[in-house]
Amino acid sequence: MTAAEGRLPWFLMVAACWATFLVTGSGMIRSPFLLEMARDLDASLAATANLFSLTALAWGIASLCAGAASDRLGRLPLLLFAHALLIGGIVGIALSASYAGVAAWTIVAGAGGGGHMGVIFAALSDRVRDGQRGRAMGWVITGQSLAFVAGLPVATWMGTLMDWRGVMLWVAGSDLVAAAALWRALRRPGASAPPPAPPRPHAAPSGAMPRLARLGPHLTRLLAAGVAERVCFGVVAVYFATLLQLRHGLDLGALTLPLGLMAAGNLVGNWIGAWIADNVPDRERSFALSSLGTAVLAVAVFGWDPGLAGSVAAGFLYALVNAIGRPALMAVLGQAPAETRGALLGFNITCASVGWITAAAVGGVLIEAYGPGSLALPTAAIALLGAWLATRARRLAPPPPSA
């Protein structure tokens, strides 16, 4: 490997982090405003929370399609199209007066977000060797974490100055800057990888999808473990603010610091997980241990009321431990051959969307019927399932590719 090949593409990594920060934040910033949105749109809390399910559904479909298309058409055109959809959808949400209108534009914005996530992991993975993938993927996941560390608290604070619609418009404007930065990063001389090779004459036009259908049991179980992890992450991401409001009576202004601390746990966990993914060969075991810790802490966060300070501390630890396993999962998936990498990583985002849909849909119903404590045992059980699946995948793991 030459020195150039060994260098990390820092400009692209930073641009990907910033763009992913806004893509993730475009959906997550709604979580502190669920009660306000429900009143504004004359809808129930469960119906308003299910907007996350619509986002996740569109996100999952778009990520699979965009990831597979980027293997043929290139990463940059798909990323720009995804951000155009995202910006249009966010503006539509902000200007809609009815729940039906918000729901329709939520699908458009979700398709844009999924299109970005289905391609950006592949774009980075194309440009680094295996021993660097934990760090490279970690920058994208850091963008997701920063949406909670900075975006969510700032959006909550902005909500004290304007309504939730104004906050959405700010996000749309910021994403214009992100799309321009991403375009510049991928257009820089030497930053773009060469376009993927055209399919062989005997390959079917949709050859990537049949190959995905023949995934071995190792990847199948690992993808299923990723779904379980996303359920656990989605539950705390969507409902931690609601838990603090219902259990401790916090208003929007008082939510800023607790949400920032919880999100900081996610960021720190991602940094730790990225280092582990590049330095510990047994990535599946790292993921399994993270899931086991998540199961224990789910009971502490949702099933125990130690007071406001204790709840915030438990949320910090939960987010940290849960985040440690994510870079390891993405580094394993990034080992896929370049001609199917976009399709596989897009399919992973599709699988992850199943986790978000489950968390948003089931969580809202449980909270309305039984209170936030009802999330403890289901979340812990799903985390344990994820740990078991990752352990089973480890036993079937292929040998690491030769350098």
> What's the confidence (pLDDT) of residue 322?
93
Confidence check: pLDDT of 189 > 60:
no
> What's the confidence (pLDDT) of residue 55?
84
Confidence check: pLDDT of 51 > 80:
yes
pLDDT confidence of 274, banded at 50, 70, 90? confident
Confidence check: pLDDT of 193 > 70:
no
Q: What is the spatial distance between Cα 31 and Cα 256, in angstroms, rounded to a whole number?
A: 12
> What's the confidence (pLDDT) of residue 245?
87
Q: What is the spatial distance between Cα 198 and Cα 131, in angstroms, rounded to a whole number?
A: 27
Q: What percent of the chain has pLDDT over 70?
A: 88
pTM over 0.75: no
pLDDT confidence of 204, banded at 50, 70, 90? very low
Confidence check: pLDDT of 210 > 70:
no
- Does residue 45 or residue 80 have the better pLDDT? 80
The ranges assigned to domains in the chain are 10-191+216-395
Which range among 104-108, 128-132, 218-222, 245-249 shows the weakest confidence by mean pLDDT?
128-132
Q: What is the spatial distance between Cα 124 and Cα 19, in angstroms, rounded to a whole number?
A: 13
**Per residue, what are the HEC states of 108-145?**
HHHHHHHHHHHHHHHHHHCCCCHHHHHHHHHHHHHHHH
Question: For the segment 303-347, what is each residue's pLDDT rounded down to a tens digit?
Answer: 888 889 999 999 999 999 999 998 888 888 877 777 777 878 888
List the structure tokens of 268. Answer: 């720190």
Question: For the segment 2-39, what is each residue's pLDDT rounded down to a tens digit?
Answer: 334 457 778 888 888 989 999 988 887 787 888 888 88
> What's the confidence (pLDDT) of residue 400?
53
pLDDT confidence of 206, banded at 50, 70, 90? very low
Confidence check: pLDDT of 48 > 70:
yes
Q: What is the spatial distance between Cα 98 and Cα 107, in angstroms, rounded to a whole number?
A: 15
- Does residue 253 or residue 170 have the better pLDDT? 170
What is the DSSP code string of 344-359?
HHHHHHHHHHHHHHHH
Q: What is the spatial distance between Cα 48 and Cα 35, in angstroms, rounded to a whole number?
A: 8
Which range among 63-77, 176-190, 309-323 shows the weakest confidence by mean pLDDT?
176-190
Instruction: Name which of 247, 218, 137 is nearest 390 in CA terms.
Output: 218
Mean pLDDT, rounded, for 343-354: 80
Which range among 59-68, 202-211, 349-358 shows the weakest confidence by mean pLDDT?
202-211
Considering the domain 10-191+216-395, what is its CATH architecture?
Up-down Bundle (1.20)
pLDDT confidence of 397, banded at 50, 70, 90? low
